[in-house]
Structure 1
Amino acid sequence: MVHPYAILGFLAAVLPLVATPGASLTLLVQHVTDNGRRQALPVILGTATGLYIHATFAIAGLSALVMHSSQAFTAVKLIGAAYLVGLGIWTWRSATASARAPARRHPPVRSDSVYTQALLANVLNPKAASIYLTLVPQFIEADHSFDGQILTLATAHALLMTFWLLAWTVIIRRASRSLQKPRFKRTAARITAVVFVALGIRTAAT
């Protein structure tokens, strides 16, 4: 069992990382802007699932293998970078197609597709894995079960991420009138695309 003070310390340490704009927030802005606040749920669930996968990998020692093998780490990093860049290109092309046919109504993106995007964006992020290899060990006790402690901290991490993304969902929906304008949607989509590509390049370069 993790001591409550250890959980609070972990949350304080991970908060700056949660608050740093990344793929999850970018996906949230994109899908909530386009299809409403209901799309926040699959983004949150996909992100939370990714955190539990990283926690499971850490328990199994797989993340340690990736982090200590330069080839494996580079492979994961490049796959994640390629995914983000590809997602950015797809988003830009979708915005361009929308600009050419503004009167056409596009069907909403399926929730399972949004969930998969959020899941992959998190799982393919080696920096998320590094949290469970470098930060989590600082808040667990050697004389207790690692499994339970890591899963407890992963749950706290997922809850913090959920509250953060829900807060952004409220902010986005309060500006709903401006967000629903076609011109704003296209501009937001293109900004989102640039952010995805930038995140991919940053991931590959670090």
Structure 2
Amino acid sequence: MHLYLLFLLMATATALSPGPGVVMTLSNALRLGRRGTLGGILGIAAGALVVSALSATSLGVLLATSATAFTLVKYVGAAYLVYLGIRLWRKPGLNLQVATGAADDRFGRRFIEALVLQLSNPKVVLFFLSIFPQFIDPAGDFQTQFVLLTLTYAVIVALVHLGYAMGAKRIRGWLTSERGGRVMNRTAGSTFLFFGAVLASSQR
């Protein structure tokens, strides 16, 4: 496996970038407290495992045997990162609306909601379909690399969302403010633009 450090950085940037999962974690933390976020966080991480398994097992074999397919997916992935970068750069701060009234803090309900959200999140699906397989060395053991990268991403997602949950009350105002949202989104956008350029220039 090659470029593992780059994978770590890219996976972390993807998990950190504001999106539906982050909004869900922050909302749950503000409504239910830190303990009430555990089901949702584990559901998000589980969703990442499911999507990675479905994408890597099918697409990874193709990329390992076809240089043309690898090149095509590489540029699709790079273009997607650039698209994310531009979109985040122009995006306003998070619109975080916390519901009032009684909140359902059941672990199972939070887990299923987050799992469904993650499985339907195009950012996650496209990350694994167009980017994830490129970090697998075709000369190495595919299964070992796949398991390592998948678990790495799931752990990163869980840790990032735990961080958001623990700091929800402190960072809510900043993330939803015009200035804070701009700084967060432009930082994430610049990161994705950089990774898009790196990915486009990478060699097999």
- The interval holding the TM-score normalised by the smaller chain is 0.5 to 0.7
**Larger gyration radius, structure 1 or structure 2:** 1
Partner amino acid, structure 1, of 2:156: L
Distance 1:155 1:139 in 2: 14
TM-score of the superposed pair, with normalisation by structure 2: 0.59
Does the CA contact (< 8 Å) of 2:59 and 2:129 recur in 1? no
After TM superposition, the structure 1 = structure 2 runs for residues 39-54 of structure 1, keeping only pairs within 5 Å, are 39-54=36-51
Partner of 1:36 in structure 2?
33
Partner of 1:122 in structure 2?
118
Shift in Å at residue 137 of structure 1?
A: 2.2
The counterpart of 2:10, out of the listed 13, 21, 42, is: 13
1:63-105 CA distance string (max 9 Å, x none): 99xxx9xxxxxxxxxxxxxxxxxxxxxx97x94xx4xxxxxx6
Distance 2:35 2:59 in 1: 34
Shift in Å at residue 134 of structure 1?
A: 1.8
Please state if 1:26 is matched with 2:16. no
Partner of 1:146 in structure 2?
142
- Aligned pairs, how many? 141
Partner of 2:167, secondary structure, is helix
Partner of 2:105, secondary structure, is coil
Please state if 1:113 is matched with 2:106. no
Distance 2:105 2:125 in 1: 28
Partner amino acid, structure 2, of 1:39: G
Taking only aligned residues, the RMSD between alpha carbons, in angstroms, comes to: 3.1
Partner amino acid, structure 2, of 1:31: N
Does the CA contact (< 8 Å) of 1:59 and 1:150 recur in 2? yes
Shift in Å at residue 175 of structure 1?
A: 7.8
Alignment CA distance shift 1:62-1:42 (3 Å):
farther
Q: Is there any run of 5+ residues in structure 1 with no aligned partner, and where? A: 69-90, 99-104, 179-206
Does the CA contact (< 8 Å) of 1:59 and 1:147 recur in 2? no
Partner of 1:83 in structure 2?
none
Shift in Å at residue 61 of structure 1?
A: 1.8
Does the CA contact (< 8 Å) of 1:23 and 1:121 recur in 2? yes
| Higher share of residues assigned helix | 1
The percent of aligned pairs where both chains have the same amino acid is 24
TM-score of the superposed pair, with normalisation by structure 1: 0.58
Shift in Å at residue 129 of structure 1?
A: 1.7
Does the CA contact (< 8 Å) of 2:41 and 2:158 recur in 1? yes
Does the CA contact (< 8 Å) of 2:59 and 2:133 recur in 1? no
Partner of 1:204 in structure 2?
none
Distance 2:129 2:102 in 1: 42
Partner amino acid, structure 2, of 1:124: S
1:109-140 CA distance string (max 9 Å, x none): 31111111110111112331221222122211
The counterpart of 1:170, out of the listed 166, 169, 173, is: 166
Partner of 2:200 in structure 1?
none
Shift in Å at residue 38 of structure 1?
A: 0.7
Shift in Å at residue 24 of structure 1?
A: 1.3
